[in-house]
Amino acid sequence: MKYSLGNLYEIAYEVINDPRSARFKEAQTACCGNGSYNAESPCNLDAKLCPDRREYVFWDGIHPTERAAKLAARALFVGGAKYATPVNFSQLIGD
């Protein structure tokens, strides 16, 4: 059996603490929602919506934006050992 463990915590931690390194403008407030940080109620017809979701790490109070999810997937697929170990996902399926 082959396996590899992905470290989504490390990916999220890095992006949230330094969003500009991944070309995000906002990592604290969700793109869609209401209340503090747009995270107190779900994204619905009454929610506030950000002008450009590509600049945000979080879509709502729980979920990443599509761009943030793609960044995480890429880190797991081709990133180094701090993101996936013992090998990245590309190496795992290539064996």
pLDDT tens figures, 6-39: 999 999 999 999 999 999 999 999 999 999 999 9
pLDDT number for residue 60: 97
pLDDT tens figures, 53-83: 999 999 999 999 999 999 999 999 999 999 9
CA dist 25 to 36, 37, 68, 78, Å?
18, 14, 12, 24
> Would you say residue 95 has pLDDT above 90?
no
Rounded CA-CA distance 67/90 in Å is: 20
